Structure formats: structure tokens, C-alpha cells
Structure 1
Amino acid sequence: MRKDIIYSLVLIVALLTQSCDSYLDLQPENGTTRDEFWKTKEDVQAAVIGIYSGLLNTPDSGITIAEYSFMYGELRGGMVDPGVNSSDDQRDVITSSILPSNTVASWAAFYTVINYCNTVIDLAPDVLALDPTFTQEQLDQYLSEALAIRAYLYFTLARTFRDVPLKLEATLSDDDNFQIAKSTQEEIFDQVVTDLTTALKSAVEDYGDNASNKGRITKDAINAMLADVYLWQEDYTNALIAADAVVNSGAGYSLIPGSTSWFTTVFARGNSTESIFEFQYTPENRGPFYGIFLQRPQYLAQASVLEDVFGLDFEDPENKDVRGERVSLVPGTNEIYKFTGLNQDQRKTLQESDTHWFVYRYADVLLMKAEALNELDRGDEALAIVDEIRESRLAIDLTKEQVTGDDKDGVRMYILAERARELAFEGKRWFDVLRNARKDNYANIDIILGIAVKTAPANQQQSIVAKLKDPNSHYLPIYQYELYTNKALVQNPFYK
């Protein structure tokens, strides 16, 4: 990990409706002792708000967690092309021409926010003895939020890099150890499950307002994360239990019927009945999307996405999957539209560009449930979920697959295709492809190779396919600066 991350300040941004009149320095001056750090429950509350602020606007970095999440989850998934303003490093990730010097592989932003979480987890309990108005219940709820966010960040890192350093204590001074070896992906996943199951015990069900319920960690957000990580662990029984906990939580989640207002409700406004956890950007604190998708586009939808993913009915052009044209992308220009549109006719202005980053939506959880059901030999139930989602989204018959519940491979691929339609450009595609490809010791590596054959430039196709046959290539290298500052690190095998 980079030593300089401990000196980062959380920017002057507060989550949700909080005012912007203060800042939080989660790194005390060198020599400050623990009992001089935080003294009141308000200090702890500010620190937790600071964690969310770090998710929205990563200190000391021009790239936010949301943009990294997009790059890690989409650039290698076969649905994104470079835009005219993409960097050489971004283009190299898309074409699997990745070197340890590639800046996309920098994980510093994630470890900065992980350290904020660790600081709350380590120091907040001390405040109980200092502030008689601070209750154990309040402390446990704050710790739940910090644990869950730390878990999600480590989950993202382990899916992206495979083996990464696991640091569970706060970095509070120059004397702390920065020479930390990698833990295996399996160890990271186990720690993620431990953190999430611990967080679940004290998690909030209802904060009392919709923006907080969608923008802060709740029991449903934790269960959505658990379902996700259990799928990666191929623990389908627990994945189903976690997904069902969300579905049956009584929180009022529902699929909004496809219509001309569906896009505006779910994406442009956000925090709908389809929302579980979203990064809450506002007009005062805008996300990166307007710039990277519209003003100076770094990323475009791959040219064949509209036809191959959503389908085109050439006999009836009005027969459209509601998730495709001028929802996920704009035909012709291939502009990624999901994060900049106001409705299907108008884009937001720069001043209005407050579209959230969608970490988990209800349809995502339903499709994770379908995946678990299929792997548990309950394919007919899985197909019923896929049909429910397709009906609500007005999916066209052209993309309907004729599979039966006893065809596990067929249902698996159908769910994967439906996730591409439902979650296009939401940072899910590469992770979905990789999770399915690596099942049963990479029995399905052809999923990855097929994407390469279809999307790679003709003059690079053979070399890209050859690289991707090595599973080590499916994870990013350790950024060269990290190797320089942390001598305990060993480069990912493919990049040595």
C-alpha cells in the first residue's frame, strides 16, 4: 500500500443532506495518542460521514471510486470501446495489453477509504467511555457501516487483482508497518463474509428517510453484498439465503414496469423502489459521469451492443427493450447514456448531472437469486425470475432463449445475457463474465475467449486470445509504484 494515503483529507463534502461547512481529517498528527483523537459521538458520526464522502470524492486522486468501479467492471467485458478522449492506459486495458505501469491498476483510492473504515472501527469504541450520551447501539450501527463498506472495497479489489494486502487495523502514524504481503483471494473473500455477517447483526433497517435508506448501508445492502460474494465462493445455498433476505425484507422493493418514465425514475432521479444502495451524487457534488461519457468521452458503448445485447426488431422498430436505446446508449454515436440522461429525449445539463452510481439494484439481486437457484438444480425457478424481469423491461422475443430448467449451462448463459441487458455499464459485466468463466476450475473459459474473438481488433485477436487462456491474465497487475514502496509485495504471475 502507498504510504502517502494516510495523509489524505476527506474533501469538504457531506453525504445526503448534510451541510458542507466542515471537513474531517482521519489522520491525526504524528504523536497524537488515541485518547486525544475523538471525544464525542458527533466526532464518530462525522467520521462515518467521511467514509461516504471518500467513496464519492476520493482524496488526492482525480479518479473516484465510482469511475474505478466502472473501469474494473466494464473495460474488459466486451461492451465498451475507447472514446476519443480515452487514455493509452484505458485503451490498453480494453485490449488486454496491460503493463504494471498502467495507472488504471492503481488501488490507492480504495486503500485510502479502507483506512477511513479501519480508523472508525479501531477508534470509535473508545468514545463510549468519553461521551455518556453515546450508546452501544449507536456505536454498533456506525461500526456496521464501516465494516460493510470496508468489505465491499476489499471484495472489489479481490475480484480485480485476485490477491491483495489485507490490512484490518488503522494506519495512524509513520511508525505503522507498510510492508504487508498479499493475502489470497480466498482469504479476502472469507474476510469479506466475516465483516458482512458481523455488520449484519447491528445494521440499520430504516434510517427514516429515503435518501439515507438508499445511500447508506442497510441490512438489505449487506445481504445484497453477501449474495454477491457467496456466488464468487460458489456457496449457492448461502447466496440464495442472502438474496431471499432482500426479496422478503418488507422494504417495498419492486420492478417498475417499463414505460417512457422508467428511465427517469430509476436512473435520472434514483432512489426508486428498485434501488438498494447508490452513491448519492447531487447537483452540488456531481459525479464524474458527465465528463467521461459526454463532455470529453473516454468510453463508448461497443458498436454492436444495441443489436447483440438488446436486440433490434427490423420489422417493427417500435418494439424495443426499454433498457436499450437512449437508456443504456444512444444509437449511432454509441454514447453511454445511462448516467447523463434526464429522460429518453433530453440529457441533463452539467449543473443537473447528479445521477447516482448504482451499487446494487433489486433486479441485480433477483438475477443473483436466479443464478443461485440454477446452480442448485432449480432451473425452472431461475427461468421464472428471468421471465419476470424481461416482461417488466419489455424485452423483445429476439433475445428470448429457448432453454429448459434442466439445461444448467443453457440457463447459466441466459442469466449472464440478461445481466448484460439489465446492468449495462453499471460496473458488473467483466465480473459477471469472470465469475461464470471460472466456475468448476475454469470449465467455462470459452465465455472469456468468445468475447475476445468478437471484440478484439483483427490484428490483435490471436495475441489477445493467447493471453486470456492464462487465468492469471484475468486479474490486473500490481501497480509498479506499490511494488516500489511495499517490498513485501510480489507481482501477479502473468506480469512478471
Structure 2
Amino acid sequence: MIKNSTYKILLLVTVLVAGVSSSCNKWLNIKPQDGLVNQDYWKTKEQLAAAVTGCYASMLDGAALPLTKYMFIWGELRGDMVVAGTEPAAGTSTATLSTLTRDELDMLHTDIVATNTLNNWDAFYEIINYCNNVIKYGPGVKTNDNTLTQAALNAYIGEARGLRGLMYFYLLRTFGEVPLKLEPTSSDADIQPLAKSTRAQVAAQIIDDLKFAAANVLVSYGNIGDDKGRINQYTAYTILADVYLWTEDYQNCIDACNKVIQSNNYQLFPAGTLQADWYNSVFFNGNSVEGIFELQFYAQKLNPFFNMFAATGREFKAADWVATGDLFGTDIVDATNKDIRGAGVSMSEGSGGITKYTQFATTATSYSHWFLYRYSDVLLMKAEALTWLTPGNVANATAAIAIVDQVRLARHALSNVNGTTISDPDPNITLDVSNYIFNERAREFAYEGKRWFDILRNAKRNNYANIIILLNIVSSSAPADKQQSVINKYKDIRSHYLPIYSYEIQTNNLLVQNPFYQ
């Protein structure tokens, strides 16, 4: 949890950055030097707006590590598509490695203990705390500023609750049971030990926050940067759909997806779009027609991805099976016949470098966005929910397959991947349809922090009826001498969530370590 001796809400102003389109607002943080924030602040609607903007700006930062780095690590390292940028030579003592390098390798190798610093959840709870400040103190602004309407107040509160729900969704999927902190920590006196809430309680709070957001935030903020960088109504429905899919509430997932689809605000680039045009629009420039929610890095606020993926001594690269064509496929006869998501966008076939965020970037120009949700996610979530709404329903399965094929057509997906033919599955076989969607998500969202969550969601469905999908994946990516021990570990479903960081256990006497790590 947040342990600093002073707690000040992050105040920010919106600025236009030189060299960036004037339609795209970016955020610059300005922290108050001193003073009692709760007494001196929360007087005008402009201050309320700045506080909400501060919640977004804090997502560009982090705690021990940047927030987006945690999102990548938690969503990718336990999967099968990422390996270490450089594996230590055989026989190298881990004692000679930096703490971060050692902890990353341990997580990649499924050797996870409570002292691993990558289990630190501070970055997420800091944002939750900023949101809690807005939620608690925002309503008081209306008393002081009669130009603030109730609808505008509700919209600001909705944004904060939407972000809080998203942060708790990451914590739920990563740790399972976590403390639900719904009151702000504004001083040392506010620090109270807090026990974990159950997964059901956390999920219920997330859904409540997101439903409030969907009902109260704006449909549009009037400019593309804010529409892609802030929570609008369709962003809230998108996150809500993801939560419903995780909790196996398939009809509500479909309904939320339909809200986004029927808005006609988003679309896939048409079939035949050149790879360079697609990459430049969606990933290099960002805020494209496919984007739903993107963290808006910019020239004065760089992302951490260059050092993670592109620099000498990079931390991570694509797994060999991805880099050699087993995911996207290759055409050795016609190099132009390729899945536009593969080599040249997601990774480099030659080096295995993860290029989605770093093409044309340098240490000084690494400001590609982080993509929390794109329109294809809504489509594929709907397909997955249709598949499992009524298992065996051929009409639903056929509709789900058509959605996947819509995405595949837009991306020029290959029908033969290194000798394996990819064709529509039998709509009568629910698991085959589900796996068709699962495999397409791997191609569509490569290195966007979603792979492990996709694996776990598919494995745990219906009381872990498909745990084999997880066991096969983790064993295939484990070192050869550890494969059996990894399988034995992951057969215990309690191991599918990270341990609570040891520091939190030491400083909060109400916290109980997750069972597998006790």
C-alpha cells in the first residue's frame, strides 16, 4: 500500500506540447510544494478538473518501476511469448546480477517468491489513492463553486471510479485477493492496516465503479487526444466487458461489447491496408480509429519501452517460436504475403526484438503510447463470450467465428503457419472455437500485456476445465531441466496468482500471504 510519510494529491495542468498536434492534450505534473491540500484545495471546478487529470498523469509514472512496465511484466512474463533479452551464461551465479535482472529472470522461469520486487503493487495503489481523493472530496467542490453542475461533477467522479476499477482489475487478475482501499490516504493518521477482500468482493467493487462510470462520464471530450486518453462512456463499457469476461458473465459481456460496437466510433483498418500505414497510424502516431484507451506518452514524458526492448542490453525479446514464424507465419516465396501484425510490427524476425513500441525511436524519442484497449479487443471479447454463453450453440459459435475472421481479414492473416493450416473450426465443438479465438488474440495483442491474463482466463473457466492449456504453455516455455517441476507447481491453481510482496506482509499485520506462498 502507499507508505510515504506525506500524502499529497497530484495536481496537474493540461498543456499543449510543441511539435504535437493541438488536438491531442498531454499532461504535465505540478506538485504543490507544501500546505494542507484538503483545506486549501477542492474549491473550484478547475481544481477538480486538474485533480482528475492528475489521476491520468500518474499512470505515466509509477513507483519503484513505471506503471506500464508492471503492466507488461504481469501480463507477459509468465506466458510464452517473451524471453530474457540476454540469458546469463550457464553457471552464472544470480548473486552477480542486479536485483531487477534477477527478479525478471526468476519470473520468466516461474521461480517466484514473495521477496521478488516485481510483486510490488505500490504503483497501482498510488493511482487508486489519487482516485479516492477525487471521489471523496470532489462532491465538496459543488458547495464552493455553484458553476459546477451535478452532471459535470458526476462525470469527473465517473472518470476517477473508472480508473480505480481498472487498477483493481489488474490487481484482481494478478494477486486474486487484495485489500479494497476505498478511502483516501491524505496523512499519516489515515494509514490503517487493511485485510484482503475476497475475489468476489473485489470484482463486485470493480463492476460497481465501472457501471457508475459508464452511466456518468461523457461520450466525447471534443478532441481525439482526450477521447483516446480519458475514460469516456465507451471506454468504461470496454473495461466492463473485460471484467464480465473474466467473471464468466457472458451475456453482460456481450451487452457491453455491443454498446461499443453500435456506437460506430471505432473500426478496423480495411483489408488491404499496407503494414507501414497500419503501424504508423495505430502504434507510431497513436489515437487512431482503432484505439479505445491509450496512455498518452509524449516528448516531455517518455515511456520506458526503449530500454526494455530496443537498447543495448534490452531486458526482453520475443520468444524464438514467435520470432521464427510459428505464430504469424512466413511465406518464403512471397515476402509481401504476410500477416501485417507480425515481423515489422510486433517483432523483428532477425533479432527477436520487440518492435511494437520502439520502431524509429531513440532514448530521446521513445513516446509511443501504451495500448490498454483497441477495438479488436472488443470484437474478440464478444466472440469469446458468444462461444461460452451457451456451449454447443452453433449459431453463437458461427457468429463468433465470423468475428475472428473479420479481424483476420483486416490483418491479412496467413492460412498456413509454418506447415499448419489455419481454418475455421467446427462450430459444434466449443473448445475448438474458443482455442481459435485464443490463438488469434496471441497474434492481435502480441506484447500488449495481455497474454498471461488470456491464458489464465481460458484455463480457469468452468472451474479449471481447461487447465491443460496453461500447463502446456508454461511447460513449453520453462527451462528443459525444470519442465516437470513447473508442471507440478502449476497444477496447484493457487500458484496462478503472484505472492503479496514481502514488505507489505511485514508492515500490515492484517495481510495474510496468498496460500501457495505461505
TM-score in same-fold range (> 0.5): yes
Q: 1:283 aligns with which of 299, 310, 314?
A: 299
Q: Which residue of 2 aligns with 1:225?
A: 239
Normalization by structure 2: what TM-score?
A: 0.90
1:259 counterpart residue number: 274
Instruction: Find the aligned partners of 1:194 and 1:37 in 2 and give their Cα distance.
Output: 28
**Equivalent position of 1:247 in the other structure:** 261
1:366 aligned residue: 379
Counterparts of 2:78 and 2:398, CA distance in 1: 31
- Residue 75 of structure 1: how far off its partner (Å): 0.5
- 1:76-123 Cα offsets, whole Å, 9 max, x none, are 111000113971101111111001000000001100110000000000
AA partner of residue 401 (structure 2): L
Alignment equivalent of 2:399, drawn from 372, 381, 386 = 381
Matched AA of 2:382:
K
Using the aligned pairs only, state the percent identity.
Answer: 44
Match of 2:71 among 63, 69, 72: 69
The structural deviation recorded for 1:254 is: 3.2
Contact 1:287–1:354, Cα closer than 8 Å, also in 2:
yes
Partner letter of residue 474 of structure 1?
Answer: H
For residue 163 of structure 1, report the CA deviation from its aligned partner. 0.4
The aligned counterpart of 1:300 is 317
Between the aligned partners of 2:6 and 2:399, the Cα distance in structure 1 is 48
In 2, are the aligned partners of 1:24 and 1:46 still within 8 Å (CA)?
A: no
Q: Which residue of 1 aligns with 2:411?
A: 393
Cα drift, residue 9 of structure 1: 6.4
Number of aligned residues:
485
Query: Deviation string for 1:144-189 (max 9, x for gaps)?
Result: 1100000000000000000000011111222224200001112111
Distance in 2 between residues matched to 1:28 and 1:369, nearest whole Å:
49
The one-letter code of the counterpart of 2:124 is: F
Q: Show CA shifts across 1:296-346 (max 9, x none).
A: 4111111111322112233444321110001100012110000011xxxxx
- The answer to whether structure 1 residue 108 and structure 2 residue 122 are counterparts is yes
| AA matched with 1:48 | V
Q: Is the 8 A contact 1:11 1:54 kept in 2?
A: no
8 Å CA contact 1:5, 1:111 repeated in 2: no
Alignment counterpart, residue 408 of structure 1, candidates 430, 441, 444: 430
Match of 1:138 in 2: 152
1:113–1:5 Cα change, 3 Å: farther
SS in 1 for 2:188: coil
Distance apart, 1:453 and its partner CA:
2.3
Matches within 5 A, 1:22-171: 23-25=30-32, 32=36, 34-58=38-62, 61-84=63-86, 87-171=101-185
Offset of 1:405 from its aligned partner?
A: 1.4
Deviates more, 1:4-13 or 1:370-379: 4-13
* Cα distance change on mapping 1:13 and 1:138 into 2, 3 Å: closer
Q: Which moved more, 1:248-257 or 1:135-144?
A: 248-257
1:443 alignment partner in structure 2: 465
Deviations 1:405-433 (A, max 9, x none): 12100010010000000000001000000
Partner of 1:349: 362
Structure 2 unaligned spans of 5+: 16-23, 88-99
**Distance in 1 between residues matched to 2:415 and 2:105, nearest whole Å:** 34
Give the aligned residue type for 2:466.
Answer: N
Residue 255 of structure 1 contacts residue 363 of structure 1 at CA under 8 Å; is this kept in 2? no
Distance 1:443 1:274, change over 3 A: same
What are the Cα deviations for residues 230-288 of structure 1, in whole angstroms up to 9, with x where unaligned? Answer: 01110100000000110001324333434131111111011001000000011121111
What's the C-alpha RMSD, in Å, of the aligned pairs? 1.9
Distance (Å, rounded) in 2 between the aligned partners of 1:234 and 1:375: 8
Q: Could you tell me which residue of structure 2 aligns to residue 344 of structure 1? A: none
Counterpart CA distance in 2 for 1:153 and 1:316 is 44
Structure-2 change in CA distance of 1:298 and 1:33 (3 Å): closer
**Residues 386 and 33 from structure 1, CA distance in 2 versus in 1: closer, same or farther, beyond 3 angstroms?**
closer
Unaligned runs of 5+ in 1: 342-346
Please give the secondary structure, in 1, of the residue aligned with 2:405.
helix
**Aligned partner letter, 2:123:** A
- TM-score, normalization by structure 1: 0.94
Find the residue that maps to 1:297 and give its secondary structure: coil
CA 1:120–1:9: 2 relative to 1, 3 Å: closer
